[in-house]
Amino acid sequence: MLLSTLVFGLVLGGSYALIAMGLSLQYGIARIMNLAYGEVMICAAFAAMLLFNVAGLSPLLSLVLLVPAGWAISWGIYQVMMRPLVARSGTTGRLEVDSILATFGLLFVVQGVLLVLFGGNFQSYAFLGQGVNVLGTQVALNRLIAFGLSVLIGGGLYLALTHSRWGLALRAVALSPGSAPLVGIEVNRVARAGFALGGALAVAGGVVLSMYQTFSATMGVIYTMKALVIVIMGGVGNLLGALIAGLLLGLIETFVSVYIDPGLTLAATYGLFLVILLWRPQGLFGGAK
Amino acid sequence: MTGSLIALAVLALVACGPYILDAYGIGLLIGAVSYTILASAWAMFSGPTRYISLATVAFYGTGAYTVAVLSEALPWPLVLVSAAVIGGVLALLVGLSTLRLAGIYFVIFSFGLAELIRQLITWFEVSVSGTLGRYIFLELEPRHVLWQLLALAAVVVLITGWIHRSRIGLALKVIGDDETVAAHAGINLARTKLILFVLSSVLITLVGAIQSPRWVYVEPGIVFNPQVSFLTVIMALLGGATKRWGPVLGAVPLFLLFEWLSARFPDHFSILLGLLFIGVVFLLPDGVLAAIEKLRKKKEARA
Amino acid sequence: MMLEIHEAAKHFGGVRAVDGLSFSMNEGEVVGLLGPNGSGKTTLMNLVSGALKPTSGDILFDGVAIGGKRPDVIARAGVARTFQLVRVLPSLSILENVMVPAAFGREALWGRAAEARAEESLARVGLKVSPGKLAGDLTYIDQKRLELARALAARPRLLLLDEWLAGLNPTELQEGIALIRQLEAEGLTILLVEHIMDAVRALCPRCVVMASGSKIADGPTAEVLDQPEVVAAYLGGIDA
């Protein structure tokens, strides 16, 4: 029981980490607090389900199709919706409030569209549900694949960001958008890339999660909430922090759901958030400000 | 001063509504007055501080649910007092843990708060009390609900008038302009925000409590409808959250528009709402009143 | 002692903006805080006013520890400041701007008393009140005057001026110097960050010089400005 809970927690935590990394990129680099983030994820989950049920496409292949689409759509959203807000705010710090409001509106639009298309019921599809023996416990193959994908995508992205010129530019803007132009970085382009990359990660997270979890049209809010808590926990803009915090939240939720009550998982998330706020608002891994 | 008197006179006039209108008309008045109070209470805190609260329905639903649980055990006035106290304590907890930090922490906390409370109540009802869904049987007719809401609206008018003239009003104006200067002038930022947030939340909780008898049957999924938070924010923003009469100006026409839209396009309501919201954020970022003021200034400058 | 700073330090990540600095000021003293750009002067002002919390060290105001306290607590204790980049409250009237510290400061004045105090402070800095005019519409020099009047309205015991004379034309500069000198004559304790050497010489009998977060000189102004390490720090600052 303990071991299987641990494995399930890690699998869930891996997906959470992936999702949170995307939100962290959007907020850290583009300075957009995207409240419609979870909706992007849920859209990807529905798309993966449709491709699987209608076209018989494995979610692994859908991932290859959908992630670039997620990038492109987020790129477009930034260009059409966010860019004017960025331009309008200038240096006044209005962007935070404006982006919160604009994406709050977007949340309802996307959720409304999903409700019209798919209704409000929980959905899932049967992909590689057979059990595999891991350290003496039965784990569904889809969960293992999901975990592997999370590690692969999350870890790969982390390495790319820390070891490439391109990653350096992204991190420079995250640290100091004011001085990045001094070293020849075009902030607008980098911000757009950061937002698009975050969207691509949301899609990856959505597809990965849909392999083993049920989802519904109105669930995006909860995932946005969880991703936000993980980002705060890990320290805003700290990708490694988001990774660790994501795993931690997955474990805590799974343990609460197995040993206490499945109805209390969001309460557990909030409890954790509250502890962070009272104890270390700069994040578990951030330095003191 | 004159503004307050005019507002009170309008409220008195609306109170005569039940003698002329049919049930549908009274229902519309109840909705319009409810949202006017919600938007005004929201703007009372979020306008000057620019801390966007997405948790309106968390308090509104808490008010309604308090009535559902206590309405048979306590006399009505005490039920309302209990609702106010519960809403106030909840706001105090939320405020104490977030308001000393940057605004973003508050927004995030408020974003999921309604969902959290909804899930907690659902969990409690299912696994402890064993009943999901409760009935509210009260001897209150729609016109009584309306009159109580109007009384609450009068309280809101008096409170905003008082804030306007008091030190806390000046403190809020300073905070809205520049928090650093406010702190260096001796204003306790966290306490000022906390007082306003609790006050605003108590008013919102009371709206939920007073109009809950309209539902008869109550369950968490009904009273914690996220659209309430959404409508409140858009109404306050459209009118202008920093102007005293802005929220009223936004609430009444938008409520009527939403009534019409939700009857006409029930399935696409949420989409239309979202689009309208985005439109307001883009085209009227400071609200209608500020836009009119700007136009007038431009004209004066030209003249 | 009006102000005592013991080994105050402020680190931002790996950067030591203020690195173990100590000095103290007597009541009624006017001290110039000098140093090249980036030497940590404004950071030190922020530590004293509470805008920043020190990483380590103690700051005592009139014998009471204020290091790490909230800015509103420090303000109510009797410390007022102006900002390097002038910060008026643009949507408030001129009178309201100045009323704020009177209303929320030590004395907590309200109504007519707060207005009277604001009018008195405005008169002291020579700013005329035109009713209904918003602070955001004032000219630069008048915004500076307004900021000083606001700082004075709380009747502070320690005044922190962060480059209050910067950006004034020669006539305005003379007026500004005369104004501060008048405050000095009234016995107010003032710590001022300033780059204009003529003003420093005219106003401050004593100077503290900072370079890379540390104190490199402290003493009578004329002597301090002749010290070779001070000259070197300034030349280095110009080079960089």
Q: pLDDT for B89-106, tens place per residue? A: 999 999 998 888 888 888
Q: Mean pLDDT for chain A?
A: 86
pLDDT at C131: 66
Question: How distant is the Cα of A258 from the closest Cα of chain B, in angstroms?
Answer: 15
pLDDT at C240: 37
- B78 domain residue, yes or no: yes
- B62 domain residue, yes or no: yes
Interface test with A, best of B50, B242, B262, B282 (most A CBs within 10 A): B282
- B50 domain residue, yes or no: yes
Which three-class secondary structure string do you get for chain C? CCEEEEEEEEEECCEEEEEEEEEEECCCCEEEEECCCCCCHHHHHHHHHCCCCCCEEEEEECCEECCCCCHHHHHHHCEEECCCCCCCCCCCEHHHHHHHHHHHCCCCCCCHHHHHHHHHHHHHCCCCCCCCCEHHHCCHHHHHHHHHHHHHHCCCCEEEEECCCCCCCHHHHHHHHHHHHHHHHCCCEEEEECCCHHHHHHHCCEEEEEECCEEEEEEEHHHHHHCHHHHHHHHHHHHC
Chain C CB within 8 Å of residue B72 CB: no
pLDDT at B105: 87
- B26 domain residue, yes or no: yes
Backbone phi, then psi, for A260, in 5-degree steps? -115, -75
Q: Shortest CB distance from B123 goes to which of A106, A221, A261?
A: A261
What pTM was computed for the model?
A: 0.88
pLDDT class of A8 with cuts at 50, 70, 90? confident
pLDDT above 70: residue A286: no
Q: How many helices (H) and strands (E) does chain B have?
A: 15, 2
Which three-class secondary structure string do you get for A190-232? HHHHHHHHHHHHHHHHHHHHHCCCCECCCCHHHHHHHHHHHHH
Residue A148 CA to residue A6 CA, distance in Å, equals 16
pLDDT at C235: 63
Nearest chain C residue to B178 by CA distance is C89
Chain A CB within 8 Å of residue B180 CB: no
Chains in touch with A (≥3 Cβ pairs < 8 A): B
Chains in touch with C (≥3 Cβ pairs < 8 A): B
pLDDT at C238: 47
Tens-digit pLDDT profile for residues A60-92: 888 999 999 999 999 999 999 988 888 887 766
- The reply to whether residue B183 touches residue C90, judged by beta carbons under 8 angstroms, is no
Which residues in chain C touch residue B187, judged by CB atoms under 8 angstroms apart? 72, 100, 104
Structure tokens belonging to residue C182: 């008048």
pLDDT above 50: residue A288: no
pLDDT above 70: residue A289: no
Chain B CB within 8 Å of residue A229 CB: yes
- The reply to whether residue C100 touches residue B184, judged by beta carbons under 8 angstroms, is no
Q: A with B: how many residue pairs have Cβ under 8 Å apart?
A: 115
Domain count, chain B: 1
pLDDT at C86: 87
Mean pLDDT over A46-69 rounds to: 91
Low-confidence ranges of chain C (pLDDT < 70): 131-132, 235-240
Question: How distant is the Cα of A216 from the closest Cα of chain B, in angstroms?
Answer: 15
**Residues linked to residue C31 through DSSP beta bridges, in sequence order:** C191, C206
Q: Which domain holds residue B222?
A: 2-226
- B255 domain residue, yes or no: no
| Residue keyed to tokens 């006399």 | B75
Nearest chain C residue to B165 by CA distance is C111
pLDDT over 70, % of chain A = 94
Chain B CB within 8 Å of residue A104 CB: yes
Low-confidence ranges of chain B (pLDDT < 70): 1, 302-303
Which residues in chain C touch residue B182, judged by CB atoms under 8 angstroms apart? 72, 100
Chain A 64-93, CB below 8 Å of chain B: which residues?
81, 84-85, 88
- The reply to whether residue C72 touches residue B188, judged by beta carbons under 8 angstroms, is yes
- The reply to whether residue C72 touches residue B180, judged by beta carbons under 8 angstroms, is no
pLDDT above 80: residue A193: yes
Question: How distant is the Cα of B25 from the closest Cα of chain A, in angstroms?
Answer: 29
Nearest chain B residue to C156 by CA distance is B185
CB B200 within 8 A of CB B56: no
- The reply to whether residue C87 touches residue B189, judged by beta carbons under 8 angstroms, is no
Question: How distant is the Cα of C76 from the closest Cα of chain B, in angstroms?
Answer: 5
Tens-digit pLDDT profile for residues A148-181: 888 888 888 888 888 888 788 877 777 776 677 7
- B73 domain residue, yes or no: yes
Nearest to B119 by CA among C128, A257, A79: A257
pLDDT at B285: 78
Chain C CB within 8 Å of residue B300 CB: no
- The reply to whether residue B180 touches residue C87, judged by beta carbons under 8 angstroms, is yes
Chain B CB within 8 Å of residue C137 CB: no
pLDDT at B243: 79
- The reply to whether residue C96 touches residue B185, judged by beta carbons under 8 angstroms, is no
